[in-house]
Amino acid sequence: MLSEIDKLAVRAATDERARERIIQTQERAILKITSRVTHRFVTKSDDEWSVALYAFSKAIDTYHADTGPFLTYAETVIRRSLIDEFRKQTRRSREIAVPPNTFDGGGEELESSPVQYAVVRNSIWAADSSLRDEITALAGACESFGFVFSDLVQVSPRQEKTRNACARAVRFLLRDPERLDRLFETHQLPMQALIQQAFLSKKLLDRHRKYIIAATIVLTGDYPALAEYFTFIGNEGVI
């Protein structure tokens, strides 16, 4: 059975008043989705708002009653549109090489092998454009948190115990949508909550903050290739 919002969306495809009404009533939802995708607080004065609003309107035009809940469908359309736009803007800006062990703690070995680094870099950028685009998008998201993608080589956990602790931190964030929203709005880890409720040490959080944030960005965004690096985090059924 269609909900009221689903019925309104169907009607809005051919009724301008209905379109205006659904856009007006869902402005906060659109902004919230946009903030989640861009990993920063977005207002109607930002360029991302225009992209998201256009995508929402496109979702109205392409929605069908048998597609499922309209808001779920609209979120998917908005997310894809924003990521596509970001990739267009950054694709030509710079090249970012990703070491094979960036996310699993092999940075020390890599740093002593420039030949291996060059091989990985060239293979990624020449043969896997989808991964390349994801890395570029992630790099931009990391910069909004005050660090660069290459920092992950140094801060990725190198011991299984540490990696499991970082995974626990990420799962703790993923379990609470409001906590995630605050993370993306403030660009700050909820340190006290992680220490007191997830029983993690401040030293570990300070040391691996960037890794935890990057993993959270990947697992809440449209990064299917990079998400493969973090499958171990979902072992407890969170993802």
Given this model, what pLDDT does residue 105 score?
A: 53
Render pLDDT for 83-136 as a digit per residue (tens, 0 to 9): 878 766 655 444 445 555 566 554 443 333 333 344 344 444 444 567 777 888
Q: Is 39 left (phi over 0), alpha (psi -120 to 50) or beta?
A: left
Instruction: Label residue 118 exposed, middle or buried (CB < 10 Å: 0-12, 13-18, 19+).
Output: exposed
Nearest to 149 by CA among 138, 160, 159: 138
Per-residue pLDDT tens digits for 158-188:
888 999 999 999 999 999 988 998 999 899 9
The residues, ordered by sequence, that sit 6+ positions from 91 with a Cβ below 8 Å of its Cβ are 133, 136
| Helix, strand, coil share (%) of the chain residues, nearest 5 | 75, 0, 25
Instruction: Determine the average pLDDT of the residues in 182-203.
Output: 94
Letter string b/e over residues 67-104, b meaning 16 or more CB atoms within 10 A of that residue's CB: eeebbebbbbbbbebbbebbbeeeeeeeebbbbbbbbe
Q: Which domains does the chain have, with CATH numbers?
A: 4-90 (1.10.1740), 107-236 (no CATH)
pLDDT at 218 over 50: yes
Average pLDDT over residues 28-34: 91
Question: Can you give the pLDDT at residue 135?
Answer: 82
Instruction: Indicate whether 53 pLDDT > 70.
Output: yes
pLDDT at residue 208, as a whole number: 94
Name the average pLDDT for the chain.
Answer: 81
Predicted TM-score (pTM) of the model is 0.55
Residue 238 has pLDDT above 60, yes or no: no
Q: What is the DSSP string of 86-147?
A: HHHHHTTT------TTTTTT-HHHHHT-HHHHHHHHHHHHHH-HHHHHHHHHHHHHHHHTT-
